[in-house]
């Protein structure tokens, strides 16, 4: 009888025991995001969440579920290089919930997918804690997720992550841009920086100019790593707090400024019968944007790729604009009136 070599899953690069440790380590982070609507228990194969929270006054009469998925992109590579993973977790939540609220939806729960070369519970716990922090900022539950160890697909030390968020909005309160009209006012909420788009270009600038991530630059007032890895701002509380203050339709459209910059994303929110005019001089971009431009990116390309300091835009009826500005100021959102809506064909003009 010929002896055959014996193989194990661990020999092929996948450690089941490490996964068991990992699941136990992240339970505390997940539990910190749970509210009374979560029915899940540790070890369950799926998460459970109820729309009713036991208070009849807060239940939805005609609930519309809203879902979205997104990732962090190549910002992950800079986070790995700088050994700053916590903020990437916040980014992952932000990119999803900021999309979700453009419909007027309340984020309910979040799911993550993490694909790694090798599961290192100690190293990756920082990332999960960042995701949990983002969920707490968005007032939603980190309901579950999946971690896949794939040594043949990812290089040593590499990983990728994706997120999925589900929310709900009362049908009569949905916001889809169909009510945007000429005369409406564009109100912008500041970004924290680059957020999570355009990082292939950011990385190209860093590499071509041989910039040191650890170096502190005077024009930034911080290290380059701190500037380019600032977590994406989460707008949930500012936006939902504002919407809840009005029974009438004061806000007619909203746009999360992601890949494609201001023009492309605002165009998605205004419908075919209107144009939008954005005044580029109505706000001051954070220092990271002139820094990137100075190192080899043309102004037109900057506005095409990046948010340029405005991470979220609300389109507001003109008669409510002053009140909306006051409410946003009171919440600490630091809003700017950045433009207006005219008749047109769905285009956005920057001037």
CATH number for the domain running over 16-51+60-173: 3.30.1330.10
Residue 55's pLDDT band, with cuts at 50, 70 and 90, is low
> Can you say how many angstroms the Cα of residue 20 is from the centroid of all Cα atoms in its chain?
29
Q: How many helices (H) and strands (E) does the chain have?
A: 11, 12
What the block records as the tokens of 137 is 């900022």
Distance CA 186, CA 317 (A): 9
Domain 185-350 has CATH 3.90.650.10: yes
What is the pLDDT, as a whole number, of residue 112?
96
| In the chain, % of residues over pLDDT 70 | 93
CA atoms within 13 A on the CB side of 310: 29
Residue 63's pLDDT band, with cuts at 50, 70 and 90, is very high
Residue 58 has pLDDT above 70, yes or no: no
Residue 56's pLDDT band, with cuts at 50, 70 and 90, is very low
Q: Give the pLDDT mean for 129-134.
A: 97
For the segment 132-190, what is each residue's pLDDT rounded down to a tens digit? 999 999 999 999 999 999 998 999 989 999 999 999 999 999 999 899 999 999 999 99
Distance CA 297, CA 289 (A): 10
Residue 72 has pLDDT above 80, yes or no: yes
Q: Where are the domains of the chain?
A: 16-51+60-173, 185-350
What the block records as the tokens of 298 is 């043309």
Environment class of residue 347 by beta-carbon count within 10 Å: exposed (0-12), middle (13-18) or buried (19+)?
middle
Residue 14 has pLDDT above 80, yes or no: no
What is the pLDDT, as a whole number, of residue 23?
77
Q: Give the pLDDT mean for 334-340.
A: 98
Residue 124 has pLDDT above 60, yes or no: yes
Residue 6's pLDDT band, with cuts at 50, 70 and 90, is low
More confident residue, 271 or 103: 103
Distance between first and last Cα of the chain: 82
Distance CA 151, CA 154 (A): 6
Domain 16-51+60-173 and domain 185-350, same fold? Reply is: no
Residue 316's pLDDT band, with cuts at 50, 70 and 90, is very high
What is the pLDDT, as a whole number, of residue 5?
72
Q: Give the pLDDT mean for 63-78.
A: 96
Average pLDDT over the chain, rounded to whole?
A: 92
Q: Which of 133, 341, 147 is nearest to 253 (CA)?
A: 341
Residue 42 has pLDDT above 80, yes or no: no
């Amino acid at each position: 009888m010929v002896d055959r070599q014996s193989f194990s899953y661990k020999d092929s690069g996948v450690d089941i025991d490490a996964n068991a440790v990992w699941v136990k380590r992240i339970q505390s982070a997940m539990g910190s995001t749970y509210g009374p609507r979560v029915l899940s228990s540790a070890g369950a194969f799926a998460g459970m969440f109820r729309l009713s929270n036991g208070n009849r006054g807060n239940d939805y009469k005609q609930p519309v579920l809203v879902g979205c998925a997104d990732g962090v992109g190549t910002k992950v590579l800079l986070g790995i290089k700088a050994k700053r993973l916590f903020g990437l977790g916040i980014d992952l939540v932000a990119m999803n919930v900021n999309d979700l609220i453009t419909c007027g939806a309340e984020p309910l729960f979040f799911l993550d997918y993490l694909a790694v070369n090798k599961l290192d519970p100690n190293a990756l716990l920082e990332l999960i804690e960042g995701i949990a922090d983002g969920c707490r900022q968005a007032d939603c539950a980190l309901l579950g997720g999946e971690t896949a160890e794939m040594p043949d697909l990812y290089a040593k030390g590499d990983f990728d992550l994706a997120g999925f968020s589900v929310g709900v909005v009362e049908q009569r309160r949905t916001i889809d841009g169909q009510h945007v009209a000429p005369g409406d006012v564009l109100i912008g909420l500041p970004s924290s920086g680059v957020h999570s788009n355009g990082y292939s270009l950011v990385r190209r600038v860093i590499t071509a100019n041989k910039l040191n991530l650890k170096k502190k630059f005077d024009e930034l007032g911080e290290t380059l790593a701190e500037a380019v890895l600032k977590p994406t701002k989460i707008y949930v509380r500012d936006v939902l707090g504002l919407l809840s203050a009005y029974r009438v339709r004061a806000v007619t459209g909203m746009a999360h400024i992601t890949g494609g910059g201001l023009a492309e994303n605002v165009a998605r929110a205004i419908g075919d019968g209107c144009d939008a005019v954005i005044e580029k001089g109505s706000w001051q971009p954070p220092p990271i944007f002139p820094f990137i431009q100075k190192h080899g990116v043309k102004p037109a390309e900057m506005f095409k790729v990046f948010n340029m300091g405005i991470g979220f835009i609300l389109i507001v009826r003109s008669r409510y604009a002053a009140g909306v500005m006051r409410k946003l100021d009171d919440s600490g959102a630091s809003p700017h009136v950045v433009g207006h809506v005219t008749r047109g064909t769905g285009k956005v003009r920057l001037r």
